Amino acid sequence: MTRIAAYGTILLGCLYFIMPMIGMAEFSLSMRRGVYSLDAYRVVLADPQFQATFTYSLVMALFTIIFGVLLVVPTAYWVQLKMPKLRPVVEFVTLLPLVIPAIVVVFGYIRLYNTSGWLPMTGSVMGTNILLMFGYATLALPYMYRAVDTGLRTIDVATLTEAAQSLGAGWLRIMATLILPNVLGAVLSGAFLTLAIVIGEFTMAALLDRPAFGPYMQILGANKAYEPAALAVIAFAITWACMGLIQMVSRLSKHKRA
Amino acid sequence: MAFLDLAHLDKSYGANHVVKDFNLAIEKGEFVSLLGPSGCGKTTVLRMVGGFEVPSAGTIHIDGQDVTSLKSNQRNIGMVFQAYALFPNLTVAQNVAFGLKVAGVSKAETAERVTEMLSLIGLADLGNRYPFQLSGGQQQRVALARALAVRPKVLLLDEPLSALDAKIRASLRREIRSIQQRLGITTIFVTHDQEEALSMSDRVVVMSGGRADQIGTPHQVYNRPATRFVASFVGTLNTFDATVTDPATGTVRLGDSTVVLNRPVEAASGAAITLALRPESATLGAGNPGDVTLMGRITEVQFLGAIIRITADLGGHDLTLDTFNRAATPPPHIGEEVTISLPPDGLVALVA
């Protein structure tokens, strides 16, 4: 009896999650009356706005990932190696973006960096793009830091560093040839999570008025019927592809025990 | 100045004074062990030589050059760690080649040196393996090859055998010593295992409380321990209370007997001292003329194969003695009354 109840609960849970998706997918295929078709997808993919905003968000994601890796890997490494006592503080700081809403962060940015501020970053397109990238990096920080920190904990950072130093290596070489390759799986996990966050982010891009994918989805959703459903399916596919890639990368590392 | 010269080294972490006025001069090609219990400062001394710790005071010279303020990657030292510390993302060959690549050695020479090192440690066929595919002993041999590939001036070994099982430890011990002698490389070896220190080293530094208690050959350290700590830490020991009667000739009173050590004792006449004796120095039965003879009753007999370890009660004072096992002579029985002889040569006066 309890077993049946357990399976029943699981089934109910699955239906709760899967039904809306099936409904959405079904709806996205129903643009042509009476038959299933990919018309909604065709319209979305052919829309120059889709291509432009998607490309913009991809490029932003790429820069966010590069910036995030350059910021997080050395920081996590340094904290682990030289300042283990500071770890709780750094962990707390990296978790802040989870409790501070994006809208608060972006308002703070706009107040601080507007054209009459001391650093008028919103005064130019490039400046605003950079500001948005910092915002994205902040949003992705909890995921990126946690992934990299976990990766670093699986290796003996201190001894490996000393071994490399005794062989004449400097910091740059240690970071590039030893630390980064050993946490590559973790870094890529963080990178794909960042990609998923940046692709779907709305608040920051909308308030900084940048032509990103998130605001495009919102505009489309407010004005069209079938296309937003197709877009949502595409966004899901991208997120799932990212998760699949995380799995694949962590399995493909040659130097790790299978 | 010696090839590797450590002068008045001091190291404190806040109020914790871990190394105190440590002095050591090591000649080129010498194998010196730092032996002591955990917390005695031996690893800190090694890490200061390696450049991983900055001395609070004192100087370190390698080959005439003051390296005290140099970073570890500027010292040209090779280091082997207890935890192997092989780079997990690199193959065995790439690990060995790492230091050469850093030094900018040409590809052809690197390949040649890697082959030479791998055959030196007997792992010529395993160049393409990753560290996780090797056993602990193999990993440590690769770590040794990696440290030696850059032809360092000094090789530092930080308890490299501690993580291995007994059999591999013994064979690797011989291998390390033989490679060290073949290459003639100046080596400092840190260990808490007296057997390792005594069997491998040219000289042993016995450390306690951040100081060098004694620096000497394994034979000297074992047979003529300078302090009570050295005597108790290295090997097993019997101790007796005695009174000095003539410090110049080393005449002391031990129970009812007078013993002439024939070595001066650094204590005043009438001073109470401790006499120490190794278990293998005492013999069962009447010994040579001049030996101290004591009567005792056997309380324990341990048959250890080549050696039989006997404990006897000398009227409230236990004495341990080792004799060789001989097929023709069965070991004594528990409760048997025996005569035990202590040769004056084997008795060491411990003053400090």
The Cα B75–Cα B78 span in angstroms is 9
Q: Which of B232, B253, B274 is the last residue of a domain?
A: B232
CB B32 within 8 A of CB B189: yes
Residues B179, B268 within the same domain: no
Q: Is residue A203 part of a domain?
A: yes
Q: What whole-number distance in Å separates Cα of residue A153 and Cα of residue A196?
A: 25
State the pLDDT at residue A254.
62
Chain B residues with beta carbon closer than 8 angstroms to that of A82? none
> Are B226 and B240 contained in the same domain?
no
* Residue B159 scores a pLDDT above 60: yes
A135 occurs within a structural domain: yes
Would the pLDDT of B194 be above 70? yes
Is the per-residue pLDDT at B144 higher than 90?
Answer: yes
Listed residue (B125, B156, B128) closest to B42, CA to CA: B156
CATH of residue B119's domain is 3.40.50.300
CA–CA separation, A175 and B340 (whole Å): 66
Counted domains in chain B: 2
Residue A257: the pLDDT is 53
Q: How far apart are CA B340 and CA B321, in angstroms?
A: 9
* Best CA proximity match to B319, nearest among B349, B292, B290, B352: B292
Q: In chain A, where does DSSP find H-type helix?
A: 2-28, 39-46, 48-82, 87-99, 102-113, 125-153, 157-166, 171-173, 180-182, 184-200, 203-207, 213-223, 226-252
The answer to the question of residue A3 being in a domain is no
My answer on whether B342 and B226 are in the same domain is no
Name residue A213's beta-bridge partners.
none
B188 contacts chain A (CB < 8 A): no
Interatomic CA distance for residues B204 and A121, integer angstroms: 66
Q: What is the pLDDT of residues B229-277, one digit of tens each?
A: 898 888 888 888 888 998 888 888 877 778 888 888 888 888 888 888 8
Asked if B88 and A163 come within 8 Å (Cβ–Cβ), the reply is no
Mean pLDDT of B202-216: 94
Structure tokens at B32: 């010196």
Distance CA B254, CA B243 (A): 7
Contacts made by residues A241-245, CB under 8 angstroms, sequence distance 24+: A242/A192, A242/A193, A242/A195, A242/A196, A243/A192, A245/A188, A245/A192
Q: Are residues B189 and B249 in the same domain?
A: no
pLDDT value at position B235? 84
Q: In the prediction, which pLDDT does A258 show? A: 43
B181 shares its domain with B312? no
CA distance A94 to chain B (A): 28
Average pLDDT, chain B: 91
Of A156, A169, A256, the CB nearest to B73: A169
Q: Is A33 on the interface with B (CB under 8 A)?
A: no
Q: Distance between CA A230 and CA A38 in Å, rounded? A: 9
**Which residues 6+ apart lie within 8 Å of A185 measured at CB?**
A151, A249, A250, A253, A256
**Chain B interface mutation, best of A157, A167, A179, A182, highest count of B Cβ atoms under 10 Å:** A167
Residues B203, B242, single domain; the answer is: no
Asked if the Cβ–Cβ distance from B72 to A255 is below 8 Å, we say no
pLDDT above 90 coverage of chain B, percent? 62
Measure the N-to-C terminal CA separation of chain B; round to a whole number of Å.
Answer: 29
Q: Do A168 and B130 touch (CB under 8 A)?
A: no
> Both B258 and B221 in a single domain?
no
Interface test with A, best of B79, B87, B142 (most A CBs within 10 A): B87
Residue A178 near residue B87 (C-beta atoms within 8 A): yes
Contacting residues of B for A166, CB less than 8 Å apart: 50-51, 72-73, 77-79, 147, 156
- d(CA B313, CA B317) in angstroms, rounded, equals 6
Tokens of B200: 């491998």
Q: Cα distance from B145 to chain A (closest Cα, Å)? A: 12
pLDDT above 50: residue B327: yes
pLDDT (tens digit per residue) in B148-158: 999 999 999 99
Domain boundary among B206, B232, B258: B232
Same domain, B72 and B48: yes
Domain membership of residue A29 (yes or no) is no
* A243/chain B closest Cα distance in angstroms: 24
Residue A170 sits at the chain B interface (C-beta within 8 Å): yes
Q: Are residues B209 and B85 in the same domain?
A: yes
Q: What is the pLDDT of residue B214?
A: 94
Residues of B in Cβ contact (< 8 Å) with A160: 85, 87
With vertex at residue B330, the alpha carbon angle to CA B223 and CA B325, rounded to the nearest 5 degrees, is: 35
Domain count, chain A: 1
Greatest distance between any 2 Cα atoms in chain B = 76
B142 part of contact set with chain A, CB < 8 Å? no
Asked if the structure places residue A1 within a domain, the reply is no
Residue A8 lies in a domain: no
Q: How confident is the model at residue B128 (pLDDT cuts 50, 70, 90)?
A: very high
Cβ distance B132 to A181 less than 8 Å, yes or no, reads: no
pLDDT at B352 over 80: no
Chain A 181-220, residues with CB within 8 Å of chain B CB atoms: 181-182
Give the domain extent around A116. 53-257
pLDDT tens-digit readout, B95-121:
999 999 999 999 999 999 999 999 988
Chain B residue with Cα closest to A184: B89
* Cβ <8 Å between B85 and A169: no
Within a domain: residue A30? Answer: no
Please tell me whether residues B246 and B176 are part of one structural domain: no
Whether B299 has a pLDDT exceeding 90, the answer reads: yes
pLDDT digits (tens, 9 = 90+) for A182-196: 888 888 888 888 988
Q: What CATH number is associated with residue A121?
A: 1.10.3720.10
Kindly indicate whether the ipTM for this predicted assembly is greater than 0.85, answering yes or no. no
Helix (H) or strand (E) holding B157: strand B154-158
Same domain for B191 and B155, yes or no, is yes
Q: Which domain holds residue B337?
A: 236-350
- pTM of the complete model: 0.81
The vertex-A221 CA angle with A216 and A223, nearest 5°, equals 100
Q: Is residue A22 part of a domain?
A: no
Q: Could you give the CA distance from residue B88 to residue A239 in angstroms, rounded to a whole number?
A: 31
CATH code of the domain in which B310 resides? 2.40.50.140
Give the 3-state secondary structure of B244-308: EEECCCCEEEECCEEEECCCCCCCCCCCEEEEEECCCCCEECCCCCCCEEEEEEEEEEEECCCEE
Of B176, B209, B232, at which residue does a domain stop? B232
What's the mean per-residue pLDDT of chain A?
Answer: 89
Q: Is the model's pLDDT at B9 over the cut of 60?
A: yes
Q: Within this chain, do residues B201 and B225 fall inside the same structural domain, yes or no?
A: yes
Write out chain A's pLDDT in tens, 258 residues.
688 999 999 999 999 999 999 999 999 999 888 889 999 999 989 999 999 999 999 999 999 999 999 999 999 999 999 898 999 999 999 999 999 999 999 999 999 998 888 888 888 999 999 999 999 999 999 999 999 999 899 888 999 999 999 999 999 999 999 998 888 888 888 888 898 889 889 999 999 999 999 999 899 888 888 988 998 898 888 878 877 887 787 677 666 654
Give the type of residue at B46: L
Contact yes or no for A162 and B102 at CB 8 A: no
Q: Which residue of A has its CA nearest to B155?
A: A166
